[in-house]
Amino acid sequence: MNIDTREVEERMAHFESVCRREEIKLTHQRIEVFREIAQTVDHPDAEQIFQRVRKRLPTVSLDTVYRTLWLLNDLGLLTTMGSSRERTRFDANLDSHHHFICAKCGYTRDFYSTELDHIQLPDSVDSLGEIEATHVEVRGVCRQCIDT
C-alpha cells in the first residue's frame, strides 16, 4: 500500500530542504532511498529498501543504503521502529506493563498503570487483525544521560 502522491511530494520537498540546509549533497542514491521509504506505509528494513531501490538504480550498493538510512535518521527525516541499533532484549516480567526507553543509552525501565492497561483503541485497529496485547512505549532521555 502506498502513500498518496501529494504527501510523498511534501516529504521529498522537506527532505531536499533539510539536505540543503545541512549542506549534504543530494545524490541520486539518497534521493531514491528517501523516496522509497517516503512512499510506502510498510516499514521496510535495509535489505528490502535496497532491493526496491535497486530496480530503479541498479548500481546502488547495500552499504550506501545503510549509510543513507542512518544519515536520514540523524537528520530527523525518519525514525526506526523499536529501539534502533540495538540487539533483541529479553523481559521476564509477565505482568502487564509499559516501557520507558532512553534514546541515548538504551536504559529501559518498566512502569505500571492500570489506566494505560485499559486504553481504548480506535475501531480502525480491529480491522487490522486480532489484538493480543497493547503497551505504551515512552522514548526520552534518562536521568543519567541528562546529567552528563
Partner DNA sequence: TTTAATGCAAAAGATTTGCAACATG
Partner DNA sequence: CATGTTGCAAATCTTTTGCATTAAA
CB nearer to DNA: pick between 38 and 60 = 60
Q: Give the CA dihedral 77, 82, 85, 88, nearest 10 degrees.
A: -170
As given in the structure block, the three cell numbers for residue 34 are 528517501
Minimum distance from CB of 91 to DNA (Å)? 15
Among 6, 58, 122, 148, binds a copy of itself (CB under 8 A): 122
Q: Is the dihedral of CA 102, 107, 112, 117 positive or negative?
A: positive
Does the protein bind a copy of itself through residue 25 (CB under 8 A)? no
Minimum distance from CB of 128 to DNA (Å)? 25
Q: Is the dihedral of CA 53, 57, 58, 60 positive or negative?
A: negative
Does the protein bind a copy of itself through residue 87 (CB under 8 A)? yes
CB nearer to a copy of itself: pick between 20 and 135 = 135
Minimum distance from CB of 80 to DNA (Å)? 10
Does the protein bind a copy of itself through residue 51 (CB under 8 A)? no
> How many of the other CB atoms lie within 10 Å of CB of 99?
15
CB nearer to a copy of itself: pick between 26 and 138 = 138
Q: Which residues are 109's β-sheet partners?
A: 100
